[in-house]
Structure 1
Amino acid sequence: MNMIPFNKPYLTGKETHYIYDAVNSGKISGNGKYTQKCQAFFESHYGFKKALLTTSCTDALEMSAMLANIEPGDEVIVPSFTFVSTAIAFVRQGAKIVFADSCADNPNIDADKIEALITDKTKAIVPVHYAGVACDMDKIMELAAKYNLLVIEDAAQAIDSFYIGKDGVKRALGSIGHMAAFSFHETKNIVSGEGGMLTINDERFIHRAEIIWEKGTNRAEFFRGEVNKYGWVDTGSSFLPSEVIAAFLWAQIENIDIIQEKRKLLWNAYYDGLKAQSNVVLPQLPEYATNNGHMFYIVAKNIEHRTKIINVLKEHGYHAVFHYISLHSSDYYQSKHDGRSLDYSDKFTDCLLRLPLFFELEMDQVKAISKLITE
C-alpha cells in the first residue's frame, strides 16, 4: 500500500528551466535578476514597502530582531504555540521571551491577553498567523501604538492571506506590522526548497535592512550606483539566497493563482466533508480573516483520541501529523518561563492534528480521509 504523504511539494515544470537560465547568466550568487523579479512581485502584488528574499524564514526573523535593536534585558511577547524560530531569533539577541496563550477557538495569539504581559522592558510583539489565518491585527497594532512597541508578523504560513480591518480595508498579512517574515520551505503554499522573505513596512528600517542583508555592508547601494565604494558599516550576516533559489521561487510565483485555487478547493472539501460530525472541532475563521488554504487541521478531544485518529488513517494509507509542542514547556525554556499555565496552547499541543493537503491530492482522497474521521 502506497502511503499518501502529509505533504508533497508541487513543481510547475518551469523551475529547472529558470535555474538553467540563472546558472548560465553568470550571476548566481544572489540579488540578481530572479531575486529582483520575486521581490518586485511581492511589493507590487501585496503592498509590502520593501521585500528582501532570505535563505529561510528563520533568517528573516533574525534580521527583524537585529533591526528592532533587541538587546539583553528586552522582553518580546511571543505565542507559545509556534515553531522554535519565532522565539529563538530574539533569544539570540539576548531577549527574554514572554509567552502568550492561544485563543480558545484557534491557535493564534489571544490579543485580549497581550496587554497584561506588557512591561517597561517590552520591545516587540510577534503575532504568528497560524495556518495562514490572521491574528486580530487591529487590537495588536493599537497596543503597539499605545506602548510604543514594534510588531513583527510571523507570516511563515500566511502568503496570499489577508486581514480585513475595522475600517473595512483588506490588507495582505505581512503588510500590517512594522516587519514580517515569510517561509518558502517545501511545506508551504509556494516553495523554493528552503527560503524565506523579510518584508519591511516602516520606512525607518528599509535602509538598514539592506545593509544587514548584505553582511553589514552597503553593497546594495554600491551596485545601484548610489555610493562609489562599499564597506563594513553595521552588523549583519549572509542572509540573501542564491539566484538558484530565487529562480525556483519565480516559477512558483508565476503559478500562485493556480496553486492557491486548488489548495482552497481541497480545504473546502475537507470542511464540507467533516462539518456534520461531532467527533472533532474544525478550524475557525474569524470574520476579519481570509483563508489561504495552507493547512487543514482538526482538534481531537484529547491526546488519546488524536493518537487513535492518526493510527486509523495510517492503517488506511494516509499520513496525518500533529504540530508544535508548547514552547513554554520545552526543555530549553521551561526553567526561564514565569510559571503561568497556558491552557489553550497546551490543548492544541495535545489535540491538534494536520491532515494531508498538497496540490496533487485528489478530491476522492479528501473524501476518504473525511469518512474515516467521521466514522
Structure 2
Amino acid sequence: MAIIPFNKPYLTGKETAYICQAVESGKISGNGGFTKKCQAFFEKRYGFKKCLLTTSCTDALEMAAILCNIQPGDEVIVPSYTFVSSALAFIRQGAKIVFADSYFDNPNIDADKIEQLITSKTKVIVPVHYAGVACNMDKIMEIAGKYGLFVVEDAAQAIDSYYKERPLGSIGHFAAFSFHETKNVISGEGGMLVINDEQFINRAEIIWEKGTNRAEFFRGEVNKYGWVDTGSSFLPSEIVAAFLYAQLENLDEIQKKRKEIWNYYKCLISNTIENYQLPTIPYFATNNAHMFYLICPDLSFRTKLLQKFKDNEVLAVFHYLSLHKSSYYKDKHDGRELPNADKYSDCLVRLPLYYELSDKQVEYIVSLLNY
C-alpha cells in the first residue's frame, strides 16, 4: 500500500476557477467580493454577528486581544494543552498567561477549575474547542459574567460544531477560526475573527484595516479616512478568499464524508482494539470530525506505536506539548502541576483523517494498532 499521509488537502474543483475570477476582476487585495461572500456565509449560516476574514487564526486571536484592551500585567486564562497561538496573541499585548489543566477524559479546559485561577488582574478566558468538541460553555460564560471577564473562543478546529445546538464561535464575546490546510475547510493559510458583541464591531473593522476607518469610507459613512487607532494588516487577499469560498460551497459534503471516516474508525477500534482511550464527546457537544485521536497508556507505548506506523508507511502524529513546560514560558509559569495536560502531551496520537481517505486505508491503519 502507498504511503498514507496524515493530511491531504481536499479540492472541490472550483478553487482555481474562483481564483481566476478574482484575478480577472482586477481586485485581488483584501475585502473584495469573495471576502464579503465568505463573511456573509458564516453570518447567515451560524448567526455570527460580524465576521472578518484574516490571514490566520493567530491574527484573529491577536485582533481579539487588542479588542479586549489587554494591557501589560493583565492575566489571561488559557489551557496548557493547546497551540502556542492561543497564548501568544495575548502575550504580545503584555499579558501574563495563567495556564489551566484539561479534564482527565477530555483535552478541553477543565471548566470546574477555572474560577480558582481568577484574580483581580484576570481579564480574559480562552476556551479552546479541542478536536472541534465544545468546552463547557455555560459554565465558562457563567464564570465570565460573575467576574466581568471576556471570553474568546479559540475555535480553530471547530467549524460546523455545536454546543447545545448553538454554533461554536457564537457564544463568547469573540471567536477565532482557522482555515489552515489541516482543517475541515481550508484556504492554505487563513482565519476569521467573529465578533458577537456589537459594541466592538466598528473598532474591529478599524483594527482589521491597519488602524484606519477605511471600511467606513468605502461604505460612504465618512468622506475621508485616516489613522484613528492601533491595528495591522490582518486582511487576506481575494485569492485566499476565493479558494475558501469554493470550500464553503461544499461544506456539507465535506462534513458528511469526514464524519463517515471518523465513525468508521470508532466502529473498528471499539470492536477490536484494547489499550487505548477513545475520544470523549460530552453530552452537550457535537462532533465535527476534525480529528480522530487515541490516548495511549504512556509515552513509551506511543513512541513505539508511532515508529510502527512509520515503518509501515502511515504518518500518524502526536500533538501539542504542554505550554506551561515550554522553553519560552516555563520560567514564567507559577509552578502548578497540570497532570492532564502532560498526559495528553505524552500519550495522545492523531490518526490520518482527510476527505479522500478510503475504507481500505482506515482498515489498514487500524490493523497496525494491534500489538
- Please tell me the TM-score bracket, short chain as reference: over 0.9
Specify the SS of the correspondent of 1:373. Answer: coil
Mapping 1:323-338, distance limit 5 Å: 323-338=319-334
CA distance in 1, matches of 2:282, 2:274: 20
Which 5+ residue runs of structure 1 have no aligned equivalent?
A: 165-169
Alignment root-mean-square deviation, CA: 0.7
Mapping 1:72-87, distance limit 5 Å: 72-87=72-87
Aligned residue identity for 1:331: S
| 1:315 match | 311
TM-score, normalising length: structure 1? 0.98
Aligned residue identity for 2:101: D
CA distance in 2, matches of 1:116, 1:88: 23
Mapping 1:1-375, distance limit 5 Å: 2-164=2-164, 170-276=165-271, 277-375=273-371
Specify the SS of the correspondent of 2:177. Answer: strand
> CA offsets per residue over residues 247-305 of structure 1, 9 Å max, x none?
00000000000100000000000100111322111000000000001000000000110
Deviation at 1:92, TM superposition (A): 0.3
Aligned residue identity for 1:312: K
Aligned residue identity for 2:228: V
CA distance in 1, matches of 2:267, 2:368: 14
Specify the SS of the correspondent of 2:331. Answer: coil
Specify the SS of the correspondent of 1:374. Answer: coil
Conserved? CA contact 1:129–1:153, under 8 Å: yes
Which 5+ residue runs of structure 2 have no aligned equivalent?
A: none
Specify the SS of the correspondent of 2:341. Answer: helix
CA distance in 2, matches of 1:312, 1:332: 32
Deviation at 1:3, TM superposition (A): 1.4
CA distance in 1, matches of 2:285, 2:309: 30
Conserved? CA contact 1:182–1:197, under 8 Å: yes
CA distance in 2, matches of 1:323, 1:6: 12
After the TM superposition, list the runs of 4 or more consecutive aligned residues in structure 1 that deviate by more than 2 angstroms. none
Conserved? CA contact 1:186–1:194, under 8 Å: yes
CA distance in 2, matches of 1:307, 1:95: 35
Specify the SS of the correspondent of 1:288. Answer: coil
Deviation at 1:307, TM superposition (A): 1.1
CA distance in 2, matches of 1:339, 1:282: 30
Specify the SS of the correspondent of 1:146. Answer: helix
> CA offsets per residue over residues 206-230 of structure 1, 9 Å max, x none?
1100000000000001101111110
Q: Give the percent of matched residue pairs that are identical in Structure 1 and Structure 2.
A: 71
Conserved? CA contact 1:108–1:128, under 8 Å: yes
Deviation at 1:311, TM superposition (A): 1.5
> CA offsets per residue over residues 317-365 of structure 1, 9 Å max, x none?
2110000000000000000000000000000000000000000100111
CA distance in 1, matches of 2:124, 2:162: 22
Conserved? CA contact 1:274–1:374, under 8 Å: no
Question: How many residues are aligned here?
Answer: 370
> CA offsets per residue over residues 91-146 of structure 1, 9 Å max, x none?
00000000000000010000000000000000000000000000000000000000
> CA offsets per residue over residues 174-232 of structure 1, 9 Å max, x none?
00000000000000000000000000001111110000000000000110111111000
Conserved? CA contact 1:273–1:371, under 8 Å: no
| 1:167 match | none
Aligned residue identity for 1:356: P
TM-score, normalising length: structure 2? 0.99
CA distance in 1, matches of 2:53, 2:40: 11
Deviation at 1:374, TM superposition (A): 3.2
CA distance in 1, matches of 2:269, 2:370: 7
> CA offsets per residue over residues 65-108 of structure 1, 9 Å max, x none?
00000000100000000000000000000000000000000100
Aligned residue identity for 1:311: Q
Specify the SS of the correspondent of 2:369. Answer: helix
> CA offsets per residue over residues 37-82 of structure 1, 9 Å max, x none?
0000000001100000000000000000000000001000000000
Deviation at 1:2, TM superposition (A): 3.0
Specify the SS of the correspondent of 1:275. Answer: helix
Specify the SS of the correspondent of 1:153. Answer: strand
